Structure 1
């Protein structure tokens, strides 16, 4: 799927979608979810509650990290920091600095004297420090209401961590392997360490109860100072991995460090860092972003993909603590013929054998975690495609081996996979087009005769071993196992297909972002539009049933091969979907924008329905823009109950008008507008939060959105 030019388009839906006389009423039920994901930071409040900053928002634990709940389901951005002040107020950052005084239920942007940026936050009593990008070090003495920039004595442009000793001295680590010290609350700074390796960075700082300082570096291991920063020495004996991510110390003086490179993992020292030994038993994810000691001798590890693990001193192994932590990014749900359900995405591979009730993460052997495709061979192997490699599993996904074979530099962006009935494996890549393997992934041969672009992002195979591919400009068909490809665009008004779906009778479907869902009953010779909605996910049934989902318009169901449609969103919290799958037991699964997993039991969900105009809105509505955050453009949808004059305006955080998107009379029903992040003079606007407001017939609705360039 090629990137689309930034443009402003107003769309009115031209299709009337009606429910058949006997429709299907689908009721969605929430499931516990696919738990885990990226956990970047922890904080403990005065009342003992724990907070975790994750790749999908802020989570709360009231039982020491054993289980979690989201503090605000609308807070779904990636947050790298979470800090708590002595009053229990929360501070976090995701390109803007935020504060919550009610346990995370609501958040206020802090911008008085401090620009928008992703900040690291450290708190010492009534003083709050925020630092991050170029020349950014700020201090607040009024709980974040106002900020002062601190620069005196600082000789490097970027900082990573800060620590405070018992005397009130402050230590600040940054790029070029530099550590600074301040004895006046940050007003002035002196350099106490400067690494000879200018490419090094001090990533983390901690100070134990005896004021021993430890500094973890990006390249060279761990530094220690026992004289308040006057002298420093490396203490790496036993550390077999580099790239220190995090440090924490226990009440008995022991230390734990986590490493990024050379296998990563966690190491333990009981002699102030003189010697180290691995402490990884039970730790499923070797990349640990953060370590946090709670209750003296319990340590939490926040992992890159595996979520949270807990270790109590006296125990020999880490235990997962992911119950309720739905911080994973799932891009696809895929049903295996034997009944197992797989979920793949940026956090690896997960599987469920009980219809989505519980999940197991499979990372063993995956050197690349961003999984984009999964395919099953007749012999029982599973192939996985990632942004960097192809993997094969001989044991239902429990372990994985590299199957990139003879691709140049053993590197390939495997965007999609398909397997024929005789076990030939096809991969769609962004650089080499389509490649085929006939020996189980040991070697690959390019098969691009007739394909016009080397960036192929979709593959599918039907029951007759006919292959279909898309490069964003054309849809192709091959009837000879990829030897030759023919363009089959006749009837397609949008050839940039987002998804293929193949029904049991080999009817072919192609979903597009702009023009809707197309159907072909003759292997692509001729296409017809069957649903005028942006369709990104398809799940064909065993008969004429077809399920479709959209990033912004919910789930749809057709009982007659796409002739008529019904919305299928009862029980869902919104209309923004991120995955869809149907298993062979008549369970339909979807994942919402917030990462929540839902299941519908289709075996008991069929009821008679009355014919009606499905999308005629009877209320004045403004929906959340999608995508959000966005770059370079976003879609805004609104509904009008009657024909009326409507005004849709974008504002900045100062309340100034940025652009008027609509100012005219519109008919009743749904409407869509795209904003390409430009102002009224078509000049690009800066990254940051914006607001959009819909006004009509004396009513007004406002929502917020975030532009990230």
Structure 2
């Protein structure tokens, strides 16, 4: 937990208006990102694996989400212009999997399925012009001559082949590469056609085990990547891959590359955690300069027509079938530095030294290599972020960063698999104490810490392997040594610790509450068997939150005491799981968490936690951390970073300095009943593609009043029942009007009386 200077915060909040503001600083990705395409220097798209598309109209500075069919996983996108594009997507359900080829004619806002193929994985699509396209994957090749109205199978009958990349000079002349595997192993395969796929010239080479990533600068000069065993190659061809030369070979995977001209090329190289970098060559790939190193996997590097670079990468958590946390970086031609523009990250804690300098802390279990932890920093209040420090690379389990505290602008401590310290304001971190030097010996896992000053602090957690006991540790020398003050065998984790004056509180699994007075910790009588997640206290006031939720039920609990734990008020009717909270005084508090659908919420209480007002809800993903300092506040979770400047009940968009309501709202029409005219009003909080439609009581569509992209704001639309879009007047009765924006839907009914 955090130690703040309450007298300062109190004086500033005393003049705070309740009409405060939250702004979204970062809205992350919900699925893996592996495809990007621009049609000019401003307009581009990114395909998300989880039924989503992102679009930019300002050269990649901001990206707006466009929901697509919830059953589609977008794998590859290719756009002809700012309206027309194609994508390859995959559908999974209980009966199998299908690949679909889809087309948009309105910039990605709606899509039409053109072809559906069972049990085939297409991974590459190439647009020659508006009529002629090719798509390939597995051992199949398809082409269309009419913009996708029909697709023909032009595959040669080569069993064991897998096509990975394709390029066409014109509808007749092209090349496809991949790998061919039989009982002896895998080899590279090259297919060439000069008659639109009617026949294919085949080359199988044992120099490589696979070939991929075709790129051509012109009709003769092309490049590809390949690998064999543990060696990776970047190759050049000037005769449609009849011959080639190896220009680079390395033991690091060349996951992506981009030639800007015959001399300048960038590569994204990635070999897990410890070898991830962007390299640049100015001699056509012969020699390389290391530009920047990363602790994340790098998936795709791309440059638009203005030579602005974009990098797609991230990491997966939870092992196979887990969650992906993607990052998007951008590089301008004026700088070689790659700046994080948008990201998802499992944030567990937040801390700001001042209104500009702050940190996000977190991490996750990443599979057989254990946990990883990272520290991200900002110098502009959270608008842009930089990865400062990572642990757990090279398959060394480093733990996740769960808590942090600073004592001044230079000195701070973080908790992970050990205690980490900075003395230069978070630019550099060093481990000063390791809780589990040998993972095969009983090791302590810390979940939360509290420092009274720079020397005295406590950590709560549990021993993991042999004893399985809860423990509280204390340091009196700034974290360099720790002593066990309290342990309780055969119990579960303690999750949170907090102190007010000389009284300390720690809470954990199975309703466990431990109280400390004058360094003596005593377990109190349990009030619940639910897990307790967070504790906060001021003077004699103590607040504890906990529980869990699923799709069907809420098992959240909130405990409150105003007499230092002698008596408790228990609230199990709260419909939200509170993950973190901060009280300004005994009455005014803010909390963050999630509802039972795991949507994020921000709550506010003005009566000491007796009741909670919803400030913001329906956010994409839970919020795990809240931090308040000097009239500013930040809230963060895996998919969002938000900021308030005055206690937060609306949010603002710094891109245009407008204030927007957080709610997505459809208002009751006026007048109602009506004849024949009425006004429909609605509010949207983000740039979205919006539809507003009228339906009769049988569900038939009567009129479309709105069908276009609109910026955030309040809108009014006039509806005339005597002249709807259908061209006929309506009879008296009940009608429904339905608003859809950004994948969210609201509806209301209205009454026409003639």
Residue of 291, 303, 307 corresponding to 2:301: 291
How many residues end up aligned between the 2 structures?
Answer: 573
C-alpha distance 344-95 of structure 1, shift in aligned 2 (>3 A) = farther
**Does 1:263 pair with 2:289?**
no
Residue of 69, 88, 105 corresponding to 1:101: 105
| 1:471-550 paired onto structure 2 within 5 Å | 471=509, 473-477=510-514, 479=516, 486=523, 489-490=526-527, 492=528, 495-503=530-538, 505-513=540-548, 514-521=554-561, 522-523=564-565, 528-529=570-571, 531-544=573-586, 545-550=588-593
| 1:289-688 paired onto structure 2 within 5 Å | 289-295=299-305, 298-304=308-314, 307-312=328-333, 317-320=335-338, 325-329=341-345, 331-332=347-348, 334-336=350-352, 341-345=358-362, 348-352=374-378, 356=381, 358-364=383-389, 366=391, 373-376=402-405, 378=407, 381-384=411-414, 391-402=420-431, 405=434, 407=436, 416-421=447-452, 422-424=455-457, 426=459, 428=461, 431=464, 436=473, 438=475, 449-450=487-488, 452=490, 456=493, 458-463=495-500, 464=502, 466-471=504-509, 473-477=510-514, 479=516, 486=523, 489-490=526-527, 492=528, 495-503=530-538, 505-513=540-548, 514-521=554-561, 522-523=564-565, 528-529=570-571, 531-544=573-586, 545-552=588-595, 554-569=601-616, 577-579=622-624, 581-590=626-635, 595=640, 597-599=642-644, 601-602=646-647
Q: Distance in 2 between matches of 1:99 and 1:389?
A: 52
C-alpha distance 328-233 of structure 1, shift in aligned 2 (>3 A) = same
CA contact (8 A) 1:61 1:68 kept: yes
C-alpha distance 80-451 of structure 1, shift in aligned 2 (>3 A) = farther
Q: Distance in 2 between matches of 1:246 and 1:524?
A: 62
Residue in structure 2 matched with residue 635 of structure 1 by the alignment: none
C-alpha distance 399-191 of structure 1, shift in aligned 2 (>3 A) = farther
CA contact (8 A) 1:90 1:104 kept: yes
Q: Distance in 1 between matches of 2:474 and 2:67?
A: 44
Residue in structure 1 matched with residue 291 of structure 2 by the alignment: 280
Normalised by the length of structure 2, the TM-score is 0.61
Residue in structure 2 matched with residue 89 of structure 1 by the alignment: 84
Equivalent position SS for 2:402: strand
Q: Distance in 2 between matches of 1:258 and 1:47?
A: 22
* Deviation for aligned residue 1:288: 3.6
Over residues 264-283 of structure 1, what are the superposed CA-to-partner deviations in whole Å (9 max), with x where a residue is unaligned?
A: 2122334443x2222416x7
Equivalent position SS for 2:291: coil
Structure 2: gaps spanning 5 or more residues: 1-15, 92-99, 315-325, 364-372, 549-553, 651-665, 669-733, 745-754
Residue in structure 1 matched with residue 142 of structure 2 by the alignment: 139
Q: Distance in 1 between matches of 2:474 and 2:162?
A: 47
Residue in structure 1 matched with residue 716 of structure 2 by the alignment: none
* Deviation for aligned residue 1:327: 3.5
Equivalent position SS for 1:515: strand
**Does 1:215 pair with 2:225?**
yes
CA contact (8 A) 2:415 2:449 kept: no
Residue in structure 2 matched with residue 50 of structure 1 by the alignment: 44
Over residues 610-661 of structure 1, what are the superposed CA-to-partner deviations in whole Å (9 max), with x where a residue is unaligned?
A: xxxxxxx999xxxxxxxxxxxxxxxxxxxxxxxxxxxxxxxxxxxxxxxxxx
Equivalent position SS for 2:231: coil
Equivalent position SS for 2:117: coil
* Deviation for aligned residue 1:114: 4.5
The worse-fitting range, judged by mean Cα deviation, of 31-40 and 389-398 is 31-40
CA contact (8 A) 2:634 2:641 kept: no
CA contact (8 A) 2:42 2:56 kept: no
Q: Distance in 2 between matches of 1:429 and 1:204?
A: 48
Q: Distance in 2 between matches of 1:295 and 1:47?
A: 5
Residue of 235, 243, 246 corresponding to 1:224: 235
* Deviation for aligned residue 1:53: 3.9
CA contact (8 A) 2:582 2:627 kept: yes
CA contact (8 A) 2:602 2:614 kept: yes
Q: Distance in 1 between matches of 2:189 and 2:150?
A: 24
CA contact (8 A) 1:459 1:468 kept: yes
C-alpha distance 93-541 of structure 1, shift in aligned 2 (>3 A) = farther
C-alpha distance 399-505 of structure 1, shift in aligned 2 (>3 A) = farther
Q: CA RMSD in A?
A: 5.1
CA contact (8 A) 1:39 1:308 kept: no
Structure 1: gaps spanning 5 or more residues: 1-22, 606-616, 620-696
Equivalent position SS for 1:307: strand
Structure with a larger share of its residues in strand:
2
Residue in structure 2 matched with residue 28 of structure 1 by the alignment: 21
CA contact (8 A) 1:40 1:53 kept: yes
Q: Distance in 2 between matches of 1:376 and 1:28?
A: 26
Residue in structure 2 matched with residue 193 of structure 1 by the alignment: 205
Q: Distance in 1 between matches of 2:187 and 2:152?
A: 22
C-alpha distance 603-567 of structure 1, shift in aligned 2 (>3 A) = closer
Q: Distance in 2 between matches of 1:413 and 1:94?
A: 45
Q: Distance in 2 between matches of 1:82 and 1:204?
A: 15
Residue of 170, 176, 199 corresponding to 2:176: 170
* Deviation for aligned residue 1:597: 2.8
Q: Which has the higher contact order (CA 8 A, sep 6+)?
A: 1
CA contact (8 A) 1:26 1:600 kept: no
Q: Distance in 1 between matches of 2:514 and 2:89?
A: 44
C-alpha distance 149-601 of structure 1, shift in aligned 2 (>3 A) = farther
C-alpha distance 159-604 of structure 1, shift in aligned 2 (>3 A) = closer
Over residues 226-274 of structure 1, what are the superposed CA-to-partner deviations in whole Å (9 max), with x where a residue is unaligned?
A: 364456665446x5x612111111223432221113532122334443x
The structure having more radius of gyration, on CA atoms, is: 2
Q: Distance in 2 between matches of 1:573 and 1:590?
A: 14
Q: Distance in 2 between matches of 1:444 and 1:94?
A: 53
* Deviation for aligned residue 1:71: 4.5
Q: Distance in 2 between matches of 1:384 and 1:78?
A: 38
Residue in structure 1 matched with residue 659 of structure 2 by the alignment: none
CA contact (8 A) 2:512 2:532 kept: yes
Q: Distance in 2 between matches of 1:172 and 1:267?
A: 25
CA contact (8 A) 2:403 2:415 kept: yes
C-alpha distance 357-140 of structure 1, shift in aligned 2 (>3 A) = same
C-alpha distance 271-496 of structure 1, shift in aligned 2 (>3 A) = same
Q: Distance in 2 between matches of 1:299 and 1:202?
A: 24
C-alpha distance 423-414 of structure 1, shift in aligned 2 (>3 A) = same
* Deviation for aligned residue 1:291: 1.9
Over residues 147-199 of structure 1, what are the superposed CA-to-partner deviations in whole Å (9 max), with x where a residue is unaligned?
A: 67787555558665445567411123589764322234678684633467x7x
Q: Distance in 2 between matches of 1:320 and 1:157?
A: 37
CA contact (8 A) 1:29 1:599 kept: yes
* Deviation for aligned residue 1:543: 0.8
* Deviation for aligned residue 1:394: 3.2
